Amino acid sequence: MLTKKGKYGLKALVHLSRLPEGQLAFVNDIAVRNNIPKKFLDAILGELRNAGFVVSRKGKDGGYRLARPASEIRIGHVIRVLDGPLAPLACASRTQYQRCDDCTDEATCEVRHMMLEVRQAIANVLDSRSLAAMRDAANDDFPTDLALNV
* pLDDT number for residue 61: 80
pLDDT digits (tens, 9 = 90+) for 34-53: 999 999 999 999 999 999 99
**Phi, psi of 102, deg, nearest 5:** -95, 5
* pLDDT number for residue 54: 97
Whether residue 106 contacts residue 91, with contact meaning beta carbons closer than 8 Å, is answered with yes
Domains within the chain, CATH numbers bracketed: 4-137 (1.10.10.10)
Share of the chain above pLDDT 70, in %: 92
> What's this model's pTM, rounded to 2 decimal places?
0.85
13 or 138, which is more confident:
13
Whether residue 91 contacts residue 54, with contact meaning beta carbons closer than 8 Å, is answered with no
* Summary mean pLDDT of the chain: 90
* pLDDT number for residue 140: 52
How does residue 139 score in pLDDT terms, banded at 50, 70 and 90? low
How does residue 127 score in pLDDT terms, banded at 50, 70 and 90? very high
**Phi, psi of 2, deg, nearest 5:** -70, 130
Whether residue 46 contacts residue 13, with contact meaning beta carbons closer than 8 Å, is answered with no
